[in-house]
Amino acid sequence: DRSPDEGGIVVIGLGRFGCRLAGSLAALDHEVLAIDRNAEQVQKWSAQLDRVVQADATEEGVLRQLGVADLGRAVVAIGASVEASVLTVLALVELGLPQIWARATSEKHAKILGSVGAHHVIFPEAETGERVAHLIVSRMLDFIEFGDNFAIAKVRVPQVLLGRPLRELAPAEHYGVRVVGAKLPGERFRYASDDTVLAPGSMLIVEGSIDQVQSFAALT
């Protein structure tokens, strides 16, 4: 049996999100079949992507003809039309695709996608909006939240962590965050260790609760 992690990925809906996704998957050396019902979109992306097909993805028979049933993974990137998105997921479920990822634009949309059989529901707008809000109001340079109040952030090194090894400064004890990675000026990111000594202009990757990470990022 073929593992669902192997083989091609079908991306349906080449709007702003879908085409970036398809392009990134192709750049990661995955075989991508891209489908959009709009001829203009298909035309536009046919030069950048290996296989771009014009088709209505809500038609199970059409998907079958395109060989979609033999692929391991599908991403339904349609956002604006909830109906098209749900019917496409349904068609993919009927085809028995082992991994169906679907984009939701609202909580209700997500609920429906889950109940018709999508295995993973993603919220690109909501997630990006939330992340960017954190970046705007805090001094974090990047931020990912994993649920259960756990986050990882990229921050500038605060004064208090300069000049002495992390062993002595004990950031976990004092600030509740663990320094996982450090980038000294002119170098690349490396794992941080007890012996790491930070210099002005260093960047850090820290992990902890959202509050702790945020307070740590606010130190100057």
**CA nearest 157: which of 196, 204, 191?**
204
C-alpha distance from residue 57 to each of 87, 168, 179 (Å): 8, 59, 46
Look at strands 150-156 and 203-209 and give their pairing. antiparallel
The per-residue DSSP string of 15-68 comes to SHHHHHHHHHHHHTT--EEEEES-HHHHHHHTTTSSEEEE--TT-HHHHHHTTG
Q: Does 28 bind ligand ADP (CB under 6 A)?
A: no
Question: Which amino acid, residue 111?
Answer: K
Among residues 9, 25, 26, 35, the one that binds ligand ADP under rule CB under 6 A = 35
60 is a site residue for ligand ADP (CB under 6 A): no
Nearer to ligand ADP, 34 or 152 (CB): 34
Sign of CA dihedral 196, 202, 206, 209: positive
Judged on CB neighbours under 10 Å (0-12, 13-18, 19+), 179 is: buried
15 or 72, CB closer to ligand ADP?
A: 15
The answer to whether 34 contacts ligand ADP (rule: CB under 6 A) is no
Which of positions 62-121 make contact with ligand ADP (CB under 6 A)? Answer: 78-81, 84, 88
12 lines the binding site for ligand ADP (CB under 6 A): yes
Rank residues 74 and 198 by Cβ distance to ligand ADP and give the closer one: 74
Residue 57 in the binding site for ligand ADP (CB under 6 A): yes
Q: Is 17 a residue that touches ligand ADP (CB under 6 A)?
A: yes
The residue range among 31-39, 107-115, 136-144, 194-202 that interacts with ligand ADP, by the rule CB under 6 A, is: 31-39
Interacting residues toward ligand ADP by CB under 6 A: 12-18, 35-38, 41, 56-58, 78-81, 84, 88
